[in-house]
Amino acid sequence: GLAQFLAVVERVVEPVRPQASAHQVTLTVETSLQGPFSPQLLIDAMRIEQILNNLLSNALRYTPSGGQILIRIEKKPGWMQVQVQDNGPGLPEASLPHIFERFYRADRSRSRAEGGTGLGLAIARQLAQAHAGELSAANHPAGGAIFTLTLPLPAPGD
């Protein structure tokens, strides 16, 4: 259930912490979740880890030294939401509709040096949709990008 979900988030965040502190980036996990957790969240932990790994490594890549990455976990009626917010340069407005397309790269100049194929976000979104969830991206009014992973919670009694 939700406790397992929090454990998954921690598993993803832990190995990234040393990397973040090496870049002087603060990594914070915030949650409003209080136990005991009643709803069973039906998740494939490995897939959720893949999605979060992807969002975190993206956030790390674009967050400047001295910046911060905030992972916010919230429960809404019928939904579970994880937001990964960074205070990097944000996403170019023109590329927002496309960043989940295969091989699309918002910042073309980086593609070869980074060695990425731009598949990460496309796959992350497919994994989210396989959970009947959604993955969306936006720019935060305060600057930086914010990715939101939304997963359905079964109705009580399901």
Q: So what's the pLDDT on residue 34? A: 66
The per-residue pLDDT for 113 is 41
Q: Can you tell me whether residue 14 is helix, strand or coil?
A: helix
The pLDDT, as a whole number, for residue 69 is 96
Which pLDDT band, with edges at 50, 70 and 90, does 101 fall under? confident
Edge-to-edge strands, sheet with 26-31: 26-31, 68-76, 79-86, 145-152, 134-139
pLDDT of 158 over the 60 cut: no
pLDDT (0 to 100) of residue 36: 57
- pLDDT tens-digit profile of 63-75? 999 999 999 999 8
Q: How confident is the model at residue 112, as a pLDDT? A: 41
If one compares 4 and 140, the residue with the highest pLDDT of the two is 140
Peptide bond into 154 cis (omega under 30): no
User: 96 pLDDT band (50/70/90 cuts)?
Assistant: confident
pLDDT of residue 44: 80
Average pLDDT, the chain: 83
Cβ atoms of 41 and 72 closer than 8 Å: no
Per-residue pLDDT tens digits for 28-76: 999 877 665 555 666 688 888 999 999 999 899 989 999 999 999 998 8
